[in-house]
Structure 1
Amino acid sequence: MQIRISWPAGHLTATLDDTPTTQALTQALPFASTARTWGEEVYFDTGVSVPRETTARQVVDPGTVAFWTDGDALALPYGPTPISRGDECRLASPCNVLGRLDGTPGLLATVRDGDPVRVEVVDG
């Protein structure tokens, strides 16, 4: 499944795996939210609440689409966060991994704290 994440300065698509969290998120689409930034990570509230999956991870690759169960938010890391060690992408706590961004994760650097964000299914 593909989703599109849009903000005033651009957009990215992401390919999501079939997981319980992805299924819950899909039912909430489309939705609008407000972007927050934390180091080189963008996150935003989804209005979806799901439990942490057994495969949840705290350190992920840049461009991973993660679901932060502690904040009911999508977390999109593209580089180090304030708690990273070196260049790793370390999330605030273990997150459910949903898939990967298509294209260049560094485009997320154009997202500003407080930007409106829209998430929707890509038709196709």
Structure 2
Amino acid sequence: MEAQLNDTETAKSIWEKLPIKGKVNTWGEEIYFEIPVYKGPENPVETVEEGDLAYWPSGRCFCIFFGKTPVSTETEIKPASPVTLIGRLSGNPKEWAKVSEGETITLEKIPE
């Protein structure tokens, strides 16, 4: 699935490290996996939207939010702790429900 990264320093650091492979972890309707980027919080947020991509500084993880997490409320999607928003999915976020824990995921640049 394609995605657009934003212009945060964190997103730029991730872009520079691509391609990145990781082993999928799931937490509710969130996929996350450790990446080789070490950044502190950058404008951290406590709620996200379906389809948001984020960096979780506490775990040095790339996060894909396709729905609610175990700590979400009726009206808000919440990560485990504050995250840095780094982009958005271009496709249907619910497609990520097909990905299973332990699968390998690859983040890569799309040639222009």
Say yes or no: TM over 0.5: yes
Structure 2 segments unaligned to the other structure (5+ residues) = none
- Which residue number in structure 1 is paired with residue 53 of structure 2? 65
Q: Kindly indicate whether the alpha-carbon contact (under 8 Å) linking 1:24 and 1:48 is maintained by their aligned counterparts in 2.
A: yes
- Paired amino acid for 1:50: K
Q: Indicate the percent of aligned positions where both proteins have the same amino acid.
A: 34
Structure that is richer in strand per residue: 1
Quote how far apart the aligned CAs of 1:23 are: 1.2
Note if contact 1:29-1:119 (Cα within 8 Å) is conserved in structure 2. yes
Paired positions, count:
112
Root mean square deviation of aligned Cα:
0.9
Aligned to 2:63: 75
Which runs of structure 2 are paired with 1:13-52 in the superposition (5 Å)?
13-52=2-41
Q: CA deviation at 1:49?
A: 0.8
Q: For structure 1, list consecutive stretches of 5 or more residues without a partner in the other structure.
A: 1-11
Partner-residue secondary structure (3-state), 2:22? strand
Aligned-partner residue type, residue 43 of structure 1: Y
Whether the 8 Å CA contact 1:79–1:87 is kept in 2: the answer is: no
Report the Cα distance in structure 1 between the residues aligned to 2:28 and 2:19, rounded to whole angstroms: 26
**Equivalent pair of 1:80/1:87 in contact (CA under 8 Å):** no
- TM-score (normalizing by structure 2): 0.96
Q: How does 1:80-99 map to 2 (within 5 A)?
A: 80-99=68-87
Moved over 4 A (4+): none
Structure 2 residue 94 is the aligned partner of structure 1 residue 106: yes
TM norm structure 1: 0.87
Which whole-Å deviations, capped at 9, do the CAs of 1:94-117 have from their partners, x for residues lacking one?
Answer: 100011100100011011000001
Letter in 1 for 2:35: T
Query: Alpha-carbon deviation of 1:88?
Result: 2.5
Contact map agreement 1:41 1:80 (CA 8 A) in 2: yes
